Structure 1
Amino acid sequence: MKHLFVLLTFLGSLSLFAQPKLDTLAYQTFQNERFPIVNFETLGKEVDSASVIQYLSMEEKIQALSTVWHEAKFNFANFDLIPHVQWDSLYRAYLPKVIATEHIMETYTVLMQFNQHLRDGHTRILPPLYHFKKQKLNFVPIHFKQIEGKTVVYKVNSKDPVYSNITIGMVLEHIDGMPVQEYIHKQITPTLHFSTAQDSIGRIYHHELLRGAENTVVALDFKTPRGKLIRETFTRQPYDWNVRKSVAFKILPGNVGHLTIDSFANEDTFTEFKKHFPDILNTSALIIDVRHNGGGNGHWGHEIIGYLTKDPFYPSMTLMNTYHPSERAWGGQAIQSKKTIYDWKPYHTETYKKPVVVLISELTYSAAEDFSSAFKMAQRGVLIGTATGGSTGQPLGYHLPGGGVGFVCTKRDAMYDGTEFVGLGIQPDVEVKLTLEGLQNGKDEVLDAALKYVKQQKNKS
């Protein structure tokens, strides 16, 4: 009996030292939980003003800058386009700057200035929603173009009588008594994120020029086409996003269809396109206008091209990086890039076979550039206008102290044949620029050039 007790005690002691099995699924789950995903659905929720954070501690400021630094260091896809940027050195240089800030908006201003060095339109910093809405997300609904070195009214996006004195072609001279270029230099460019020169121009004049704090009054000095100087004052308000239709269609002289697509944000774009397609089929030529399309999901653009050709066509080439720390330890390649290319096979029963033109500009961006790239590779028609913004890819969102959000571009795209357009823009086949004289005389010279082109194509057939 004594021997049996000793044996059982020995076996029991062995069980105490039994080693666990590696649960690979649990291990992977644990690792993924270390990298949380930003829930974009919660970003738009209102914040109770009583719980708004006004100041960050020194530790939180350092954490915020460090987060922007390391998210870019390991995830940014385009460091090769900015070889002069020494990211680690910049991080050290910005540490005292961020520590010296007081109010949370000062802190986020420094974060935006740090991020700006990456020169990428998909890589940006957004302040906490409450502060962003109060200080940055308020507009006067007048959009401008830089034409011949002047700041020219291009569109008034409101039917409110308060804007009735503002007409297309007016030249803006001063904002709050300050010359426009000086105002841009002081108020906009220090925190602007952009990819190319034309991207910065598009952002400044179309999106940023009249932004400011909620309910603030801005005084604008204009010169009319007749040379008269006038001053108008407006109050900045939150933008009503419902006034913008993503798809519009009309018939131009010569039975030419003019399809304007201002967004590829969701399936609604494709649904609206399909509603117009029976009318498009009856036209003698089609002009697709994506000059103000800021992007969305490239899938919907490819669906539309699938109605313009029966032949397979090629979306962008994609490069995605994977980091392998063990390879780095072994002296191998820590970063391994995976190239993805594929063809899109149209499946729609009806196909539009008449001449097609796509209009592009510096505001043609992201998924709209993917659309333009695929259209060009499909050899279905020509691109007319000016170079696109030069930024596409997949932004990764991450949280920052105090409730802000950062984004970093994680995917590199090029045309299927390898032609680069990130940091450059997609070049038009026929370059046409707006002129001040043309705009003031009510002309759209880019659209006119497209009409001339399709007329020539019809005469050839």
Structure 2
Amino acid sequence: MKRSRLLMTIIIIGLLSYLTVSYFQTQNRLWETKKLATTAKVWGFLKYYHPNIGKDPFYWDKQLFTVLSQVKEAGNREELSKVYLQLLDSLGEVPNISIADTIPADRYFNKNFNLDWISNEEVFSKELCTKLKFIEENRAQGDHYYVSSVPYVGNIQLKNEPLHNSFDWTKKEYRLLSLFKYWNIIEYFFPYKYQMDQNWDEALIEMIPKFTNCQSEKEFHLAMLELVVKINDSHAGLRTSLTKQYFGSRWIPAKFKIIDDQAIITGFYDQKLAKEDDLQIGDILTSVNGKSISKILKEKDKYIHASNASVKLRNAYKCIFNGSSDSLHIEYIRDGKSLHKTIRRYPFSKFKLEKNKDPKWKILENNIGYVNMGILERMDVSAMMDSLMNTKAIVFDVRNYPRGSMYDISNYLNEKPKEFVKFTVPNLNYPGKFTWTQSIKCGGKEGPKYKGQVVILVNEETQSHAEFTTMCLQTAPNAIVIGSQTSGADGNVSQLNIPGDFKSYMTGIGVFYPDGRETQRIGIVPDIEVKPTAEGLKAQKDEVLEKAIETIRNSLGKTIAQK
């Protein structure tokens, strides 16, 4: 009995010791992460706010390396604040200036702005909070050393950023530099930070351990990709030699669309190669190398950039069928039968892509015009409208990337100029804040006007300028948008070069309807929603266009009946 009690006592003591050690290890990790997170924020704030850094580089990246070594030794709030105070002292005196704010209060867009953290005395000493607040109130004005605005647009362009040709990914401070630099660019200049699924501060806390604990360069690149994906922007891709290696650079010769966690073949990159493996339009692929499509999507979701779920599926191609090997095993359904086989993969350069032979415009049955906006040039607009002027309706297909013809077309659709869009642009004199522009108008130029019905076709391929084009065409009297959710990434793009040889992008300005309705992430909301079906894809039907024609017929029928 005594032995049993002794054994139980030893077990309990051992368990308590383990739990105590584990607790303190966890607390220590949390403290280290918290220190790095505050360092990222202070370093970025000073970079864009401190007036002396705005005029002089101060070799700011090297300053981070110095600060990181000092932060590592800080054991509490006071010691950490002291490190930051020493950094402030090294930057010189901040002049007390009177900033004249010439922007009316209602012109500010503040949903992205939050500097409450600089006054948090639970994190920083009172002295540090006071000095950080003083810097905010006497911040850099005018031309900045590290960032400027694109003329006549307003999205940011980075400048004077060190190239870091000797970047060493094995050193933690270099990896943190990449993380901190990207995080702060998004923090102060991304117009849609407020729309992210995850709070950006929480994303920083989550990603710090992933950057500090990288065991390989590929793991480092994937961490950077995961960070980029977190901003929920269809523009925000990242592709490096190592991410390419991870996903694989060999493709199957088939195009596909994902419906209900199944990949349905919709076309081919190379007809001959597809035929050799007996791939057919309408084949429903359910698994790859023994793994279901849904499981693959779940595993790779954090690496697929997208503003919304529709684009997530659109961009999933590289995750599902791409790979490094010459072949893969698939399970698929054809004519109701479950089948399986091995098919081949090829470098994309191997494919003999067919040239687009579609006409720029044509007249369908029942005197309905159709325009392919992806190949229509500005110089074609006059001839196109002359050809279609007497049609009952024109279908503008924007399931592609238009070529800048929208303003010319709108002159034929609107008797008077109509507002169709307004923007928010970064305020470089108050980083984190954005300002509204005046609404932009389209149409109204003198000349012949089209009197028929206007229908616009959209889907997840409708992105950026295509969404902008749709907004413009929507101003036509009785215009109808038919299709499915668009990409939700409208606005001029800013290129972001990040240490580690990373090149990424972000939507650089906010795009809104004149009444303030959002377009980012939600996309252009169709008046009539139509999504392709598996049956329609197999039959090679364009169900969206078919619905447009049906809608036009019904509309014309009602008009005739009313007369």
TM bracket (short chain): 0.7 to 0.9
Cα distance change, pair 422–216 in 1 and its aligned pair in 2 (3 A): same
Q: Distance in 2 between matches of 1:33 and 1:74?
A: 13
Q: Distance in 1 between matches of 2:168 and 2:216?
A: 6
Alignment of 1:249-328 (within 5 A): 249-262=361-374, 269-271=377-379, 276-281=384-389, 283-291=391-399, 293=400, 295=401, 299-324=404-429
Cα distance change, pair 311–439 in 1 and its aligned pair in 2 (3 A): same
Query: In the alignment, what sits opposite 1:13?
Result: none
Unpaired stretches in structure 2, ≥5 consecutive residues: 1-139, 149-155, 160-164
Alignment of 1:167-316 (within 5 A): 167-186=280-299, 188-204=300-316, 209-213=320-324, 216-238=326-348, 243=354, 245=356, 248-262=360-374, 269-271=377-379, 276-281=384-389, 283-291=391-399, 293=400, 295=401, 299-316=404-421
Could you tell me whether the CA contact under 8 Å between 2:288 and 2:330 is conserved in 1? Answer: yes
Q: Distance in 2 between matches of 1:149 and 1:183?
A: 10
**Paired amino acid for 1:236:** Y
How much does 1:301 deviate? Answer: 3.0
Query: In the alignment, what sits opposite 1:401?
Result: 499
Deviation string 1:278-336 (CA, Å, 9 cap, x unpaired) is 44346443212222x2x477x543333334334323232211131435xx9xxxxx725
Alignment of 1:2-41 (within 5 A): 31-32=144-145, 37=157
Q: Report how many aligned residue pairs link the two structures.
A: 404
How much does 1:451 deviate? Answer: 0.9
Alignment of 1:47-446 (within 5 A): 55=169, 57-82=171-196, 85-127=198-240, 130-131=241-242, 139-163=251-275, 165-186=278-299, 188-204=300-316, 209-213=320-324, 216-238=326-348, 243=354, 245=356, 248-262=360-374, 269-271=377-379, 276-281=384-389, 283-291=391-399, 293=400, 295=401, 299-324=404-429, 335-347=433-445, 349-446=447-544
Could you tell me whether the CA contact under 8 Å between 2:410 and 2:443 is conserved in 1? Answer: no
How much does 1:112 deviate? Answer: 1.5
Higher relative contact order (CA 8 A, sep 6+): 1
Q: Distance in 1 between matches of 2:412 and 2:211?
A: 52
Q: Distance in 2 between matches of 1:157 and 1:276?
A: 30
Could you tell me whether the CA contact under 8 Å between 1:309 and 1:380 is conserved in 2? Answer: no
Could you tell me whether the CA contact under 8 Å between 1:318 and 1:414 is conserved in 2? Answer: yes
Could you tell me whether the CA contact under 8 Å between 2:488 and 2:522 is conserved in 1? Answer: yes
Deviation string 1:399-442 (CA, Å, 9 cap, x unpaired) is 12232212233311112222222222222111222222333334
Q: Distance in 2 between matches of 1:38 and 1:247?
A: 41
Q: Distance in 1 between matches of 2:411 and 2:346?
A: 42
Unpaired stretches in structure 1, ≥5 consecutive residues: 1-26, 40-50, 329-333
**Paired amino acid for 1:88:** D
Q: Distance in 2 between matches of 1:262 and 1:222?
A: 33
How much does 1:448 deviate? Answer: 1.2
Cα distance change, pair 247–86 in 1 and its aligned pair in 2 (3 A): farther
Superposition TM-score, scaled by structure 2 size? 0.63
Deviation string 1:352-406 (CA, Å, 9 cap, x unpaired) is 3322211111222222111222222333520111222222123221212232212
Q: Distance in 2 between matches of 1:307 and 1:212?
A: 49
Q: Distance in 2 between matches of 1:274 and 1:422?
A: 32
Cα distance change, pair 379–283 in 1 and its aligned pair in 2 (3 A): closer
Superposition TM-score, scaled by structure 1 size? 0.76
Counterpart secondary structure, 2:435: strand
Query: In the alignment, what sits opposite 2:20?
Result: none
Larger radius of gyration: 2
Could you tell me whether the CA contact under 8 Å between 2:414 and 2:475 is conserved in 1? Answer: no
Q: Distance in 2 between matches of 1:318 and 1:409?
A: 12
Query: In the alignment, what sits opposite 2:81?
Result: none
Cα distance change, pair 301–242 in 1 and its aligned pair in 2 (3 A): farther
Deviation string 1:84-119 (CA, Å, 9 cap, x unpaired) is 734234324322311322443321210121222222
CA RMSD between the two structures: 3.5
Counterpart secondary structure, 2:413: coil
How much does 1:150 deviate? Answer: 3.2
How much does 1:196 deviate? Answer: 1.6
Counterpart secondary structure, 1:378: coil
